[in-house]
Amino acid sequence: MRGLDSLKRWLEQHARAAIGALGRLARRPAGSLMTTAVVGIALALPGGFLVGLDNLEAATGGWDGNPRLSVFLEKDVPEDQQARMADRLRAMDPVLGVERIDPDTGLAELREQTGLADSLSLLDDNPLPPVLDARLIEGIGSNATDTLLAEVQSMAGVDEIRLDRLWLERLQALTSLAGRVVTLVALLLGLTVALVVGNTIRLDIANARPEIEITKLIGGTDGFVRRPFLYAGLWHGLAGGVLAALLMNVGVALITGPAGQLAALYDSGFVPTGPGLSGTLALIATGGGLGLLGAWLAVGRHLADIEPGH
Amino acid sequence: MIRFEQVGKRYPGGHDALRGLSVEVARGEMTFVTGPSGAGKSTFLRLIPLLERPTRGNVIIDGVNLAGLPRRRIPFLRRRIGVVFQNHRLLQDRSVFDNVALPLIIAGRPHQEVQRRVRAALDKVGLLTRERADPVTLSGGEQQRVGIARAVVTRPPVLLADEPTGNLDPALSEEIMQLFQQFNQVGVTVVIASHDLSLIQRLGHRRIQLEEGRLA
């Protein structure tokens, strides 16, 4: 029973501090809204970048990360030799799989994908060579690549080989660079959020000085004095998080139309997605956490200075 | 209840407010602390709830030597000592009721108990009808009585008052002192610092006379 009573008392004290802090924010709406706006924007920026990166990855995800090796054969290589060459290629270490594309299939694909049907029909005969399309293992080193290229080049009947992974690697390098930059920006803006909330709480503490002194004078523990300020920080952070989530969802809604048109031009069914429910919740929780952190820093720094004796 | 053993208090800058004061106040006693300004009356009172710490000697409250009291226990010491100030020290942005309720809320008392005890304390000081008022709308004597209600609402065993009648006219002063006497009659140890010698003589309690930080 006693445990239950003290739990009830604890909950009551927290509820009182939480509601009291909310009331205090409501009494100064202008200042509270300013802080909330700063927190919201500072959270929405990195949030937006992260969602953008996710979308970029989703949009380019159709190309898997494996480099491809296109081996163009001489036009007069007979079918059975093509099959043997495909088998040899398939047996090589860095090769995952080989697809043989005969000139007719290649022409059909070209017609389908490029809309050049009319121009292609003008051709008398098929100019395309037979092609072996090899999918290589991910992250193949340049030594292994050179060895492979030399080996393939030395096969009889090979006309030309093309390794089409450079642009993909560049894109991936750019994406990971962007990811790193976004992480850095997110960290800095997160720090900003904590500092902004901390500064607001510092002002609150300065304004509440007489109250803090009297509370300590009549036996308020440090925890009791601290609590309303920590809740104020939490509320600021949560409100900022909600605002950030709103900004991001509105932003994504604004972008969806033009992005869809762009995707359509590239013949892609890609549709940009927002932060989603879990992303939104994570954003709000991050705001709350950073607000609490900022308040905690301010409280630790400034509350100890206020003693009724001085 | 309150024992000072060779207590000295030197403020930064070298001023000695107390110089080896040894004095004892028994449980349930009512005592006046008198002496000229700067004799150390306020310092004497401030050392009891550890608003300040002595620079030497021992202060022992209810058998506990405060020198060994860790910082985190200080709030619990202060909850057992009601303090009334000359300038009231009320929260101006809270109602009379909320001011008096503060010590109970700090102690985490349940809601019904807070209501009941605050009303009882306000009734005792004759301000039950003003519980919704703001402190600024009250007269000096009324504000002082709110301060007293706040100091006694948790029924602390010790009640301290620093010049509680300093700004009041003689009739009001007498009223306030009678309130303190009533608390003393139910067993509270009361220590009051005061200038008001004629009033003190009329009431006829023990006097601790200080001069330059010592017993005179």
Q: What pLDDT, in 10s, does the model give residues B145-154?
A: 999 999 999 9
Interface test with A, best of B45, B52, B78, B154 (most A CBs within 10 A): B78
The pLDDT-based confidence of B114 (bands split at 50, 70, 90) is: very high
- From B108, which residue of chain A is nearest by alpha-carbon distance? A9
What's the complex ipTM?
0.87
Looking at residue A115, what is its pLDDT?
Answer: 67
Q: Which residues of chain A make contact with B83, given a CB cutoff of 8 A? A: 217-218
B→A contacts (Cβ < 8 Å), by residue, are 46, 49-52, 72, 75-79, 83, 89-91, 102-103, 105-108, 110-111, 150
pLDDT digits (tens, 9 = 90+) for B178-196: 999 999 999 999 999 998 8
Mean pLDDT of B120-125: 94
All domains of chain A in start order, with CATH: 10-62+169-305 (no CATH), 68-164 (3.30.70.3040)
Residue A138 pLDDT exceeds 90: no
| CATH number among 3.40.718.10, 3.20.20.100, 3.40.50.300, 3.40.50.720, domain B1-80+156-216 | 3.40.50.300
- Phi first, then psi: what are they for A129, rounded to 5°? -85, 165
Interface test with B, best of A28, A211, A218, A310 (most B CBs within 10 A): A218
Q: What are the residue ranges spanned by the domains of chain B?
A: 1-80+156-216, 90-155
The pLDDT-based confidence of B138 (bands split at 50, 70, 90) is: very high
Q: How far apart are CA B188 and CA B200, in angstroms?
A: 18
Residue A267 pLDDT exceeds 70: no
Q: Which residues of chain B make contact with A218, given a CB cutoff of 8 A? A: 78-79, 83, 102-103, 106, 150
Six-digit token pair at B192? 């009051």
- From B78, which residue of chain A is nearest by alpha-carbon distance? A219
Residues 6+ apart with CB under 8 A from A88: A155
Q: How far apart are CA B152 and CA B161, in angstroms?
A: 11
The pLDDT-based confidence of A43 (bands split at 50, 70, 90) is: very high
pLDDT digits (tens, 9 = 90+) for A173-204: 888 888 899 899 999 999 999 999 999 999 99
A→B contacts (Cβ < 8 Å), by residue, are 8-10, 12-13, 16, 210-211, 213-222, 224, 308-309
Residue B87 pLDDT exceeds 90: no
Mean pLDDT of B62-87: 91
Q: Which of A13, A16, A219 sits opposite B75 (nearest CB)?
A: A219
Residues 6+ apart with CB under 8 A from A172: A65
The pLDDT-based confidence of A139 (bands split at 50, 70, 90) is: low
> Rounded to the nearest 10 degrees, how much is the dihedral formed by the CA atoms of B109, B112, B116, B121?
30
Looking at residue A166, what is its pLDDT?
Answer: 65
